[in-house]
Amino acid sequence: MLDLDSLFNLSYGMCIVSSKSEDKVNGCIVNTVFQVTPEPPMVAISVNRGNLTWDYIKDSGVFAVSILAEEAPTLLMGKFGFRSGRDFNKFQDVQHRLGETGCPVVTDSVVGFIEAEVTDSVDVETHTIFIAKIVACQCLCDDKYPMTYNYYRDVKHGRTPKSAATYHETKE
Amino acid sequence: MLDLDSLFNLSYGMCIVSSKSEDKVNGCIVNTVFQVTPEPPMVAISVNRGNLTWDYIKDSGVFAVSILAEEAPTLLMGKFGFRSGRDFNKFQDVQHRLGETGCPVVTDSVVGFIEAEVTDSVDVETHTIFIAKIVACQCLCDDKYPMTYNYYRDVKHGRTPKSAATYHETKE
């Protein structure tokens, strides 16, 4: 039995993954970020190979993960989740700063961030899993809650783009 | 800055990953399960290389993920999270059935399950990321909520074993 709705029972957090290429920056929303090892602290993310952010991570070998708070506005989610950085600069009009890796870190509507250097990657069909060593991480707000994927879908009634790892037609 | 407490802002779900080896079965708790691609539906998990479940997944090439509900009792969490299957049969006295892959699926205190066949794996320091094609998945209970890692830590006051991807000493 393959009841794909059951996959919505997996829990995730909502993040903006960002990277750089020369003097350009870009980012996209992913819900697939997990810590792989505690020592050294390493993280894995899955990014669609069609995303401009994928090009930038491949090019620079570094990325940042801005962990979104529940209060993150729909406009921010839409800008990073449904539009392409090939058409405009997503970080214009978004509060951010460049981190230690040079990747942009969102500083508004987030609970913290991670910066990491890619050590390995695996192509999986339409996506690539990037495995990376954490080189910087910080809490940015202790009184906010991280936005889970369930919160995004159930409370904010957010949609999922076709490029996402967890997209499927049944419930969208 | 490397403030590892900030990594607790990443959201996860709590699952029992199980596998088989000949006529033996075993499982362990992981919070690192994510969908990698929607079509074909594929999933990735991270398992400590010292765990017996790791041996079984390597041996059989299949695993099941039982997605725990918030109501899962501490006794179940302790059995699968803090004890080794080398010492006793963890599935004795736990409601379960063998799935299509022959891996045991927990049928009590869960919201659903996934069964998958490993297509690739990557060693990352102490852990291995297994990438796998989903061959079966099903909701088992629509009126329960999946247990998130934050719920486990904040509401159930659960601890994290040293073998876990997200273990670190500061807050444990």
Q: A40: cis peptide before it, omega within 30°? A: yes
**Parallel, antiparallel, or unpaired: how do β-strands B127-139 and B42-48 relate?**
antiparallel
| Residue B8 tokens, joined | 């607790």
Contact B40, A125 (CB under 8 A): yes
Confidence at residue B21, expressed as pLDDT on a 0 to 100 scale: 97
Residue listed under structure tokens 């909520």 = B145
Average pLDDT in the A71-85 region?
Answer: 91
Backbone angles phi, psi at A60, to 5 degrees: -95, -25
Looking at residue B74, the DSSP 8-state letter turns out to be H
* Strand-pair partners of B105: B97
Count the alpha carbons within 13 Å of A32 in the hemisphere toward its beta carbon. 28
Residues of chain A contacting residue B131, judged by C-beta atoms under 8 Å apart: 122, 124, 129
**pLDDT for the residue A157:** 83
Residue A42 in contact with partner chain B when CB distance is under 8 A: yes
| Separation of alpha carbons A26 and A129, rounded Å | 18
pLDDT at A25 > cutoff 80: yes
The torsion of the CA quartet B27, B33, B36, B38, rounded to 10 degrees, works out to: 80
The distance of A35 to chain B (nearest Cα, Å) reads: 6
Contact residues, A window 51-90, toward B, CB-based 8 Å cutoff: 67
Q: How far is CA B138 from CA A146, B6, B71, B113, in A?
A: 27, 33, 19, 6
- The per-residue pLDDT string of chain B (172 residues; one tens digit each, 9 = 90 and over) reads 899 988 988 999 999 999 999 999 999 999 999 999 999 999 999 999 999 999 999 999 999 999 999 999 999 999 998 888 998 999 999 999 999 999 999 999 999 999 999 999 999 999 999 999 999 999 998 789 999 988 888 888 888 877 777 776 654 4
**Residue A172 scores a pLDDT above 70:** no
Q: State yes or no: pLDDT of A171 exceeds 50.
A: no
Compute how many other C-beta atoms are within 10 angstroms of the C-beta atom of residue B100.
Answer: 12
- Closest residue to A165, CB basis, from B33, B36, B146: B36
Q: What is the identity of the amino acid at B43?
A: V
**A126 — contact with chain B (CB < 8 Å)?**
yes
For chain A, the average pLDDT equals: 92
Residue-wise pLDDT tens digits, A28-52: 999 999 999 999 999 999 999 999 9
pLDDT of res. A170: 54
What does the alpha-carbon distance between residue A67 and residue A64 come to, in Å, rounded to a whole number? 10
Tell me which fold the domain B4-32+51-118+137-154 belongs to: Pnp Oxidase; Chain A (2.30.110)
Residue ranges of the domains in chain B? 4-32+51-118+137-154
Please name which of A14, A100, A85 lies closest in space to residue A55, comparing C-alpha atoms.
A85
Q: pTM score, two decimals?
A: 0.92
Percent of chain A exceeding pLDDT 90 equals: 76
Q: Write out residues 133-152 of A within 8 Å (CB-CB) of B.
A: 134-139, 146, 148-150
pLDDT of residue A169: 65
pLDDT score of A123: 97
ipTM summary value: 0.91
The per-residue pLDDT for A168 is 67
Place of tokens 């891996």: B103
Q: How far apart are CA B29 and CA B17, in angstroms?
A: 6
Which CATH entry fits the domain spanning A4-171: 2.60.40.10, 3.30.1330.50, 3.40.50.1970, 2.30.110.10?
Answer: 2.30.110.10
